[in-house]
Amino acid sequence: MSIVRRERNDLPDMFRRFWESDWDKPWLRVEEFVEGDVLVVRAELPGIDPEKDVDLSVVDGVLHISAEREEKSEQKEKDSYRSEFRYGSFSRNISLPAGYSETDVKATYRDGVLEIRVPAAEQPKAAAVKIPVSRG
């Protein structure tokens, strides 16, 4: 009996993803960047209805994104039938940097990408305080 060893890169993509899996990484992948004075968070959420499948909230400086997904694909042919389902609930918490508003957050969904825009909180301008100098 001989054992054939293969390099990971020689495996078909499906098996390579299994062996090099991202089990410890969340499914809900995001990117964050600052555009002017707005924090922008984008999440990949293809194939969902944002009005019924997504829940967004900000509590105590943490942006919470949760989504539920159900995707069904069917192929019917003369002598065969194939059906695939992908579903599940996913969530992600993102701590907002200090100085960002929790109240004026806006979200849009386009082409499978959820974009959340968090503006910087307006800081009240402090009045100048005169500091006396004494001779010592």
Burial track 79-112 (b if 16+ CB lie within 10 A, e otherwise): eeeeeeeeeeeeebebebeeebeeeebebebeee
What local confidence, expressed as pLDDT, does residue 23 receive? Answer: 45
- C-alpha distances (whole Å) from 98 to each of 42, 63, 95, 120 are 19, 13, 9, 9
- The Cα 99–Cα 89 span in angstroms is 31
CB 30 within 8 A of CB 42: yes
Confidence (pTM) = 0.63
Ranges of the chain whose pLDDT falls below 50: 1-2, 4-6, 8, 13-14, 16-17, 20-26
What is the per-residue pLDDT across 59-82, written as a single tens digit (0 to 9) for each? 999 999 999 877 667 777 888 887
Class of domain 26-119 as given by CATH: mainly beta
CB 96 within 8 A of CB 102: yes
Neighbours of 69 (CB within 10 A): 18
